[in-house]
Structure 1
Amino acid sequence: MIVYGCKISYYTGKLETYLRYRSIDYQVLPTVGNEQTLIAETGVVQMPVVQDNRGRWMTDTTPIIAQLESEQSAASIYPLCPLMNIIALLIEDYADEWLWRPAMHFRWSYRVSRQYAAEVLYDELIRDNPNRYIPRFIALRILKARQYFGFVQGDGVNKQSRGHADSTYSKSLELLEAIFKQRPFILGNTPTIADVGLMGPMFRHFSQDPVPAEIMRETAPNVFEWVARMWNSKAGDKTPDLLTEPDAMLISLLREISETHLAQLQQNAKAWSDGKNRFELNIQGSTYSNAPSSRYRVWCLEELQRAWASLNAANQAQLKAVLTAAEAAIIWNQENFKLSNYDSERKAPFNRAICVFGDGIPPR
């Protein structure tokens, strides 16, 4: 399997964690220099894009992992309990779409972290590419400016919201630390899609970038240990013994997810429906000014709503009982938002993909 990505890429790290867990051999190649092929085969240049050993092209880690998992005969990383499965999917979505914002902030707002990341990107994607070569000092300036203005300031993180971007990471560590003091993985003794999803932000960003890594080591050593445990986990090591209903620690995490991620999905869907490229994103009393709207995140909300609709009445009642924050109602109170019309034929990960933001960077 060929994985087009990068060794500090958020979603490449998530996918690699899964591939290692399933002992699937893969090779990582850079996206830079392969753009024409990626666009021709998938419609996008993003990390990661995959060509498997049968020649199939796939994009977007969420459907990629779901597809690969459907081809496995061993115990699934998707919980058999319907209630815990939708909770695991919600945690994955939170990791993919909410923690992305503080992860990019910590990487590109802090000098030591952005210097580290820019140098890794240069060495991996530019230095040895004769068609893309730029002198190192110039390339580092360009990379740091592009990433900061695109993915930090361009994603609504400014003087007013920076404090919340800092604290939402700290809060995630606090909530996960409580869980990992009690058990090795989010839902029990073996990894689920919740753990794999959280490896996106927690591995290649928060545990590797200098500033958030120091915070993790000092304040959440059990989370730091979990990152290594996930990277070293292999399927079949243990028979799954997972929660069948959320405990108090998990319910606390779900409240945070509701107040941040589900609030974001609701406000984004409204902005998308209103035809806005940017909107004021209000999260837990903080405002991310000029946050970009995203068609892809409308689809993420639709996917959560589909998962809700697939539950029986008893499981729906159970989920409502644990998702008590007002923001969670967006999952079952399907407001009249404009549809994303993305992947309407249900072909993902084999469909023509779209980026989270237009051509990949939040619109100016």
Structure 2
Amino acid sequence: MTYTLYGMAASLYTARARSYMRTNAVPFVEVKAGGEEFVGQVVPLIGRWIIPVIKTPEGAIIQDGVDIIDHLDGAGFSKWAIYPEAPALLVVAHLFELFGSHGLLRPAMHYRWNFDAQNLAFLRNGFRDVLPSGLPAEAEDAVFEQASGRMRQAAVAFGVTPETYTLVEERYRLFLALFEQHLRAHPFILGGHPTIADYGMIGAMHAHLGRDPVPLHLMQTTAPNVFRWVERMTMTESFVDESFARAAGELFDPDALPETLLALMRFVAEDYLIELAAHVERANAWLADQDSAALDSAFDAHEQAKVLGVAPFDWHGARIATVVLPYRFYLLQRLQEAHVATPEAERQKIETLFEETGLREILALRTNRRVERIDNCEVWGQT
């Protein structure tokens, strides 16, 4: 009963799925996404080259980190409840799932692609995971140059330019300091065990910021407790440290959240909310100009990002524009659905919490059509 994970060691979104599989002792083998098995057998079934993907023991193919984790959680692999029962904690968990997956892309891309003297040899080796087997060295170099060139362009599309380098580094150092403070007293984001909040955050914090040489050194030397959390999120054995006040496995009391968690939420509000709002505004303007029937079929995420274009906004004194990615709206909907499904009394508590941390707007930001996933593809759904 072994699963197969198709991915890449350096892939942010593969790291999310791999982290769940490791921490929950899912039996699996990882196969590189450049190999004949993936390209010849899996890609034709999905219709595009994209990672991560898993193949179940029964032969089913599942693409996307969220869908993979939800499938495995539904199959009973979770050692703990990765979706908290307390409504407020569930909404907060989805907040960090969204922020970790997309709000950390600027530092993730900056620290990977703008320090070639320290990073490039490591990256060149890691990208062999997505190259065909048996290529001669010169061919590997040529393919890497082409692939890394696309990634450097993507970094610019996420707002990483020479004009913002210093600002990106300042904001990431502040985030690291806040996360470090939180993890000094708590083993995971919401307390005593990992939740979807941790699995959302681990992608950027491991694959890019916790492996690449420059950000790894920064993390180890300035935020050692964050580094220890990355280690905990990538190992099979459960972690118990009796020095933590909270019992192993116990999550926070939603009516008494620690100040360190509230500080992280305020950071998300300050660093990411304005970008998300700009993306929703841009998407709604685009949707308003489209023929309704043309929106009813599945779309390629990369092509959709091209047609949606970029959204400009002011970010800590800098004017930047970032590419609009519909998948963010899919994750945003998960947060909002958890909020709406909450009984009225608890919903008001959530709204108060999000008001106090500057995040109230995120509960109401909506695109005029939903983003849904059907047969491993994104689809514009109905309103």
- TM-score with structure 2 length normalisation? 0.82
Are residue 311 (structure 1) and residue 342 (structure 2) matched?
yes
Matching residue of 2:17: 15
Matching residue of 1:288: 320
Matching residue of 1:277: 309
Are residue 70 (structure 1) and residue 94 (structure 2) matched?
no
**Structure 1 ranges of 4+ moved more than 6 A:** none
Tell me which amino acid in the other structure corresponds to 2:233.
M
Which residue, 160, 163, 166 being the options, matches 1:160?
A: 163
- Whole-angstrom CA distance in 2 between matches of 1:144 and 1:266: 30
Aligned 8 A contact 1:298 1:339 in 2: no
**Where in structure 2 are there 5+ consecutive unaligned residues?**
241-246, 287-307
Matching residue of 2:253: 244
Residues 62/352 of structure 1: CA separation in 2 closer, same or farther (3 Å cut): closer
After superposition, give the CA deviation of every residue in 1:72-124 in whole Å (9 maximum; x if it has no partner): 17531222211111111211111011112310121011113541353124433
- Whole-angstrom CA distance in 2 between matches of 1:319 and 1:214: 37
Aligned 8 A contact 2:91 2:336 in 1: no
- Whole-angstrom CA distance in 2 between matches of 1:217 and 1:189: 22
Tell me which amino acid in the other structure corresponds to 1:321.
T
> Larger deviation: 173-182 or 161-170?
161-170
Matching residue of 2:60: 56
Tell me which amino acid in the other structure corresponds to 1:9.
S
Matching residue of 2:87: 82
- Whole-angstrom CA distance in 1 between matches of 2:40 and 2:271: 37
For 2:85, what is the secondary structure of its paired residue? coil
Tell me which amino acid in the other structure corresponds to 1:46.
I
Residues 160/316 of structure 1: CA separation in 2 closer, same or farther (3 Å cut): farther
Matching residue of 1:360: none
Q: CA deviation at 1:327?
A: 5.8
Matching residue of 1:353: 377
Tell me which amino acid in the other structure corresponds to 2:332.
L
- Whole-angstrom CA distance in 1 between matches of 2:122 and 2:22: 24
Tell me which amino acid in the other structure corresponds to 1:181.
R
Matching residue of 1:178: 181
For 2:329, what is the secondary structure of its paired residue? helix
Task: List aligned pairs for 1:95-114, cutoff 5 A.
Answer: 95-114=100-119
Aligned 8 A contact 1:118 1:140 in 2: no
Are residue 257 (structure 1) and residue 262 (structure 2) matched?
no
- TM-score with structure 1 length normalisation? 0.86
Tell me which amino acid in the other structure corresponds to 1:283.
W
Matching residue of 2:32: 30
Q: CA deviation at 1:233?
A: 4.6
Aligned 8 A contact 1:273 1:338 in 2: yes
Aligned 8 A contact 1:295 1:340 in 2: no
Residues 30/133 of structure 1: CA separation in 2 closer, same or farther (3 Å cut): farther
- Whole-angstrom CA distance in 2 between matches of 1:228 and 1:148: 28
Q: CA deviation at 1:303?
A: 2.4
RMSD of the TM alignment (CA)?
A: 2.5
Aligned 8 A contact 2:109 2:160 in 1: no
Matching residue of 2:209: 206
Task: List aligned pairs for 1:326-345, cutoff 5 A.
Answer: 328-334=359-365, 337-343=367-373
- Whole-angstrom CA distance in 2 between matches of 1:224 and 1:239: 19
Residues 108/165 of structure 1: CA separation in 2 closer, same or farther (3 Å cut): same
**Where in structure 1 are there 5+ consecutive unaligned residues?**
356-364
Residues 122/219 of structure 1: CA separation in 2 closer, same or farther (3 Å cut): closer
Matching residue of 1:92: 97
> Larger deviation: 90-99 or 319-328?
319-328
- Whole-angstrom CA distance in 1 between matches of 2:356 and 2:46: 38
Tell me which amino acid in the other structure corresponds to 1:64.
I
After superposition, give the CA deviation of every residue in 1:15-39 in whole Å (9 maximum; x if it has no partner): 1111111111111122224345434
After superposition, give the CA deviation of every residue in 1:219-257 in whole Å (9 maximum; x if it has no partner): 101111121122225359785211022211101101111
Tell me which amino acid in the other structure corresponds to 1:12.
T
- Whole-angstrom CA distance in 2 between matches of 1:283 and 1:114: 27
Tell me which amino acid in the other structure corresponds to 1:79.
P
For 2:194, what is the secondary structure of its paired residue? coil
Q: CA deviation at 1:164?
A: 2.7
Are residue 229 (structure 1) and residue 232 (structure 2) matched?
yes
- Whole-angstrom CA distance in 2 between matches of 1:113 and 1:41: 38
- Whole-angstrom CA distance in 2 between matches of 1:70 and 1:20: 16
Aligned 8 A contact 1:4 1:47 in 2: yes
Aligned 8 A contact 2:87 2:338 in 1: no
Matching residue of 1:197: 200
Are residue 301 (structure 1) and residue 332 (structure 2) matched?
yes
Aligned 8 A contact 2:183 2:229 in 1: yes
Matching residue of 2:243: none
